[in-house]
Structure 1
Amino acid sequence: MSKIPKRDFTIVIEGNPLVGKNSLRHQFINQSFPSNVGSSSVWTVNKKSFDFKAYRFELSIWVTDGKKQCRSETPDFNGYNHCCFLVFDVSNRESFEALDSWRKLCIEKIVPKGRTFPIAVIGNKIDKKIRTVSTQEAQKWCDDRLIPYFECSAQDGTA
């Protein structure tokens, strides 16, 4: 019986408090919206395993609480992180305006030195009736920085 090759990946999710980072993580891991999610501790890590093609993937998903202390208490990922998702709430302009500082933190503290590193932006809470950040504005911000942009709702699973 041959053993399936394993691939380890680390995903870091950052953004202001209450933009839905933990809800996105929960939706991805459990395919459901958590009934009682709140702010995480400074850093929360969860794991998810799945098989795809000829590999077994082991994901470590790190989520920051988004508060100021997480900026100084960034874990030492030892170069094993593989991508960073910057999350904002489409109904909260302040969270969108903070993306530059989150991107800078990601580049300074998370990106392994000497490596290319994918960063993507996720506009969450598209199920809300009132938006303060349009799809076009967020897409332009990302296009100007050569960053992929996605929108979703962690609450209803829309992507």
Structure 2
Amino acid sequence: MTTQQSLILHLNDEQQTVALGQHLAGLLVPPLVIYLTGELGAGKTTFSRGLIQGLGHKGNVKSPTYTLVEPYELAHVDVYHFDLYRLSSAEELEYMGIRDYFNDRSVCIVEWPERGIGCLPPADIQLHIKYVNTEREVVISACSDSGRMLLEKLQNDA
């Protein structure tokens, strides 16, 4: 069993949240499952935009609130951005073939993962984003060996 390691970062604004996603994109190696937690408006989709664009997507990154998943098929990685906020039942994920998204070539970003319990694979890394005064506090926790390697790279860059 692996122990969980964490890093706490303070971000001043939306640009720093995007920059964190872009920086993490340069460090990660697929396959990877990222859970994003935090209140509505905390910055989960903002972080996702930075990560997805950092992996090479040109153009807008929209929230998949109504579609549940937005795919981004890039040259070296398939990125699947899930937003489970409007999910009425975790069983809906089985009907959409959720397991097919999690493969050796994918980076899966899951907002509101607690709504998909029982149907989602465990996270490699989890980011919990919350407001503290006017800043965002991001707690990044490694939940697997690959998540721990990613967190160590991030800590070495800090």
Output the TM-score relative to the length of structure 1. Answer: 0.42
The structure, 1 or 2, with the larger RCO (C-alpha pairs under 8 Å, 6+ apart) is 2
Query: Which protein has the larger Cα radius of gyration, Structure 1 or Structure 2?
Result: 1
Output the TM-score relative to the length of structure 2. Answer: 0.42
Structure having the higher helix fraction is 2
